Amino acid sequence: MCLAYPGKVVQLNGDFARVDFGEGTVKEAVNVSLVQAEVGDYVLVHAGYAIQIVDEAEAKITLQYWKQILSAMPEDRAAYEREMKGGLY
Amino acid sequence: MHVCGSHEWTITHFGIRTLLPENVEVRSGPGCPVCVTPAADIDAAVKLSVGGATILTYGDMSRAKGSGMSLYEAKAAGGDFRVVYSVHDAVKIAEANPAHEHVFFAVGFETTAPPTAYEILNGPPRNLTFLTSYRYVPPAVEAVANSPDLAVSGFMNAGHASTVTGMKAYEPCFNKTRKPMVFAGFEPIDVLISIAMLLRQIADHAPKMENEYTRAVTWEGNLRAQAAMDKVFDRVDGYWRGVATIPASGFNLREEFQEYDTRVRFGLKETPGNEQFVPEARCGEVILGKIDPPECPLYMKTCSPASPKGPTMVSNEGTCKIWADHKVLASMRCRI
């Protein structure tokens, strides 16, 4: 039961927050009492509750690690870069 | 081995096993809470629903059979249940119908227990009680690590459960078993990086507790959530259907919250259920990761998502359902 989605806190209302999951999906009343979230933070939401804050800096580091793994395979990297054209997603 | 239905989903959905070298095999361990919910607990919920209480629970839980009917089937017998997305919905529904008894069938792992703990601490309405059947994963990982016939070389740990408990929850298990451990996120990149980290630990003969999911998992975890759980729940031995009773792997409501305990409110006796699966079904071995779904004689013959014969095909986190939804019809054992 690990189904949780990251979303951005766009508004705080006491114990609840409006969270934007992107692509037009917004949940109006996510319970944030289990975390200390500010507007602009990304939170992991599981069954209507935010269970943890997502650290954006760490996310970037993980993506860098992925790039390192890919660069270890030079023949694949050229094809990969052509496909991605500079952006990861 | 991973121990999370959501990891199995990512792995199967993105075809990750097809990308791995021939000598690497990823097993799907006990990571599906609906799959391991004892038949006895399901029977209790069904009995209460037919008896007039409204059972509130997650969608796939309502379709899992106990010794007899599932909650869904019990509806035809006059039983009442409603699917909720969160425990908060259960509270709102109970509040809207104060004259009627409601029971929240509280199933899940340590990811799901904190919100329930929070609602209980917040003072739920008097007509809502909690039928708890939560399971705690770290002892199950230890049990699997100690099992000689599973021969696991390393663990991909459940990322979201670990955001709550912190990596520290696995320290006793790691110290005892010295199995390589990586705390893994759920994007396909996370899974691939985690496999690479595990292989590095194995190749170097240097097991450690390593964190791939650094953007969400910390050593300490979510202290507020842990405090709420500690206040509300007692850790007890838990029976995992199809597996075994694993010490300290269940959560019971503490005595001071008895008034919200369904078992106390309705005077439920400890009635054993028929924990066996249907004849020929190998659900237990799938749950443990001993076999792949296609190795069960029923898989995609008599048992399918449209006509499930066991919980691993009912639940969204069940290995059989995930494989079936993706039309995987052959075993994916390593070829060495």
pLDDT, tens digit, for every residue of B242-254?
Answer: 899 999 999 999 9
User: For residue B191, is it within any domain?
Assistant: yes
- Residue of higher predicted confidence among B216 and A68: B216
Judge whether residue A77 has pLDDT over 80. no
Residue B257 has pLDDT above 60, yes or no: yes
* B272: in domain: no
Token pair, residue B116, equals 């329930």
| Owning domain of residue B148 | 5-23+139-211
Q: Which residue has the higher pLDDT, A80 or B115?
A: B115
Test A1 with B5 for CB contact under 8 angstroms: yes
> Residue A87's pLDDT band (boundaries 50, 70, 90)?
very low
The total domain count for chain A is 1
Same domain membership, residue B67 and residue B84: yes
Please report the pLDDT score of residue B328 as a whole number.
96
Same domain for B47 and B171? no
B111 and A1: CB-CB below 8 Å?
A: yes
Same domain, B188 and B163: yes
Pairing outcome for strands B102-108 and A16-22: unpaired
- Of all residues in chain B, the one with the smallest CA distance to A56 is B215
Q: Do residue B110 and residue B190 come from a single domain?
A: no
B335 band by pLDDT with thresholds 50, 70 and 90: low
Residue A79 within a domain = no
Give phi and psi for A20, each to the nearest 5. Answer: -100, 120
Where residue A37 sits, what CATH number does that domain have?
2.30.30.140
CATH number of the domain at B52, please. 3.40.50.11740
Q: Are residues B79 and B191 in the same domain?
A: no
Sign of CA dihedral B196, B211, B118, B41: positive
The answer as to whether A76 is a domain residue is no
Nearest CA distance, B74 vs chain A (angstrom): 25
Residue at A85 is within a domain? no
Higher pLDDT, B270 or B207: B207
* Structure-block tokens of residue B122: 């917040």
Q: How close B31 comes to chain A (CA, Å)?
A: 7
Check whether B181 has a pLDDT greater than 70. Answer: yes
Is B124 found in the same domain as B63? yes
Establish if A55 touches chain B: CB-CB under 8 angstroms. yes
Supply the range of the domain harboring residue A17: 5-54
Determine the average pLDDT of the residues in A8-17: 95
Total number of domains constituting chain B? 3
- Determine the pLDDT at residue A20: 93
Residue B334 placed within a domain: no
- Contact list, B32 vs chain A (CB under 8 Å): 1
**pLDDT for A74 beyond 70:** no
pLDDT in tens, B60-76: 899 999 999 999 999 98
Length of chain B: 336
**Are residues B172 and B125 both part of a single domain?**
no
Contacts 24+ apart (CB under 8 A), A65-72: A65/B193, A66/B189, A66/B192, A66/B193, A69/B192, A69/B193, A69/B196
Residue B221 DSSP symbol: -
Q: What gap in Å lies between CA A49 and CA B266, rounded to an integer? A: 29
Let me know whether B10 and B116 are in one domain: no
The verdict on B71 and B121 lying in the same domain is yes
Q: Is B129 helix (H, G, I), strand (E, B) or coil?
A: strand
The dihedral formed by the CA atoms of B147, B151, B155 and B161, expressed in degrees to the nearest 10: -30
Would you say B218 and A61 are in contact if contact means Cβ atoms under 8 Å apart? no
Residues of A in contact with B31 (CB under 8 A): 2
Identify whether residues B164 and B310 lie together within a single domain: no
pLDDT band for position B128 (cuts 50, 70, 90): very high
Rounded to whole angstroms, how far apart are CA atoms A36 and B237?
Answer: 32
CA distances, B201 to each of B20, B173, B196 (Å): 17, 17, 9
B201, B226: one domain: no
**Whether residues B51 and B107 fall in one domain:** yes
Over chain B, what is the mean pLDDT?
95
Q: Which residue has the higher pLDDT, B57 or A70?
A: B57
Contacts of A43 (CB under 8 A, 6+ apart): A6, A7, A9, A17, A19, A30, A32, A35, A37, A50, A51, A52, A53, A54
CATH number of the domain at B154, please: 3.40.50.11750
Place A71 in a pLDDT band, splitting at 50, 70 and 90: confident
- Which residues in chain A have their CB less than 8 angstroms from residue B228's CB? 34
State the residue for tokens 């189904």: A3
How do residues B77-92 score in pLDDT, each as one tens digit? Answer: 899 999 998 999 999 9
Residue B205 has pLDDT above 50, yes or no: yes
Could you say which of A2, A48, A56 has the minimum Cβ distance to residue B186?
A2
Q: How far apart are CA A14 and CA B318, in angstroms?
A: 37
Residue B59: pLDDT above 70? yes
> Per the domain annotation, does B186 fall within a domain?
yes
The residue of chain B nearest to residue A59, with distances taken between CA atoms, is: B215
State the nearest Cα–Cα gap between B34 and chain A, in angstroms. Answer: 9
